[in-house]
Amino acid sequence: MSTVSLFDSRSFFEKTLVHGVQHGIIPPEKIEAMNADAPKGMVQIARYFGSEFLRPELEKAKDRMLNLVSLYLEHSSGGDLHKAAESLRDNSFLSRSKGGSDMLKALIAMPQTGHFGMNETGGFSDRHIPQLATWALRPLSDYQLELAQRNQVALVLEAAIWLANALGLDVDDLAEAGPDAEAMIRTALLLHTLKRTQMPDWVAFEKLVADLRKKHATAKQPLDIACPPKLPARFKPTVEAVRQSVLSDLPRMLDAQVAPRKLFSHTPAFMGRYFWLEDGVSEVDHFDRSTSKAWDKATGGHQDDGSLLTLFLCVAAGAAPKTILTEKGATALLRKIRKTGLKPELVGTYIQTHAPEQHQADYTALWQQFIDDAQAELQSDHIHAHTDGLALLRRECHVTD
């Protein structure tokens, strides 16, 4: 035999009132007090959300008031009609309406996103009134779903703040930088894995990835990402979920064939997924030092005009870059120039790619002046061209006996 259940469309307030009267919980004088308070509440709510002088606004205010009372009674009692009736008996009708309003105001003021810097601060204010007007007509199930979602967002934010504090950042730093909370947590877990105690800028983050790859390459077991041992218990499930996402990222992160900058800044799935401090000065300094180191290697430490012109001429001729030529090497270079010609434009690209930025203009001017004067002679095929070309190289470039 099947059971048929009837759908009760009454509001929770109405159910509570009927239950309270039937069981002798709510006395007649309490009902009289509610009848006196209800019109006052309707006018107050209509005025708050619009105008108390328009009938449609008063009708909507009535609906909002009854819904706010229902929200508060059902939420605070856990759906227990007996407890809700006692609450209605022991407190004024308008206080239950205010209780529902306070619930919604607290909800609206909670963070909606895990991105630092994108959540409003300062609690509920007049700018939130339109949101409250909408929420005041929605059922408890909507409130509970939204509350659960915002509680989870708040928990992720709090966990990120706790981990950031351990690395020397406070909530204001995070608000200014504006990372995603999970990105903050992922980076903190990587730092913990290598026992680092400070938040990295990009240069340090790139080194962090390089060190993780080295550790992975030499480890006998798969690299493990562990949660900090002092992490508060309330954050552990949240951080564990993020840790699993880091483990999923590891195969690509540990691939030594992929440059970190390409992976983390130019791969859509990884963009914004990890967090580092933006420090333009540090990055420029690192770039300058790296460029200077590469340039010193390319020039062999020789920075005089003759050595540089020798290097540039080799590049323009498509020969191996050198800053010093022997007589035999100079002769071979001249033969190559006369056979395949020169591409002076290659030198400009070479300078822009390899030379320190502060010297690029001077190096370009040095090369341009040289090639304007020397190109015709270097590519000449007249009878004394070889002798004249060698003399030119000895005079302008770096040729040894």
pLDDT tens string 42-71: 999 999 998 888 899 999 999 999 999 999
Say what percent of the chain tops pLDDT 70.
94
Model-level pTM greater than 0.75? no
Q: Given a cut of 60, is residue 288 above it in pLDDT?
A: no
User: What is the domain partition of the chain in residue ranges?
Assistant: 12-152, 164-278, 283-400
Beta-bridge partner residues of 400: 326
Write out the two tokens for 250. 């590891």
Distance (Å, rounded) from C-alpha 134 to C-alpha 138? 7
Average pLDDT over residues 368-396: 89
Confidence tier at 3 by pLDDT (50, 70, 90): low
Name the pLDDT band for 6 (thresholds 50, 70, 90).
low
Amino acid at 213: R
Cα 186 to Cα 110, 116, 241, distances in angstroms? 23, 15, 10
pLDDT for 292? 59
* Cα–Cα distance for residue pair 244/398, rounded to 1 Å: 59
Q: List alpha helices for 78-199, DSSP H.
A: 81-90, 93-109, 129-135, 140-166, 171-177, 181-193
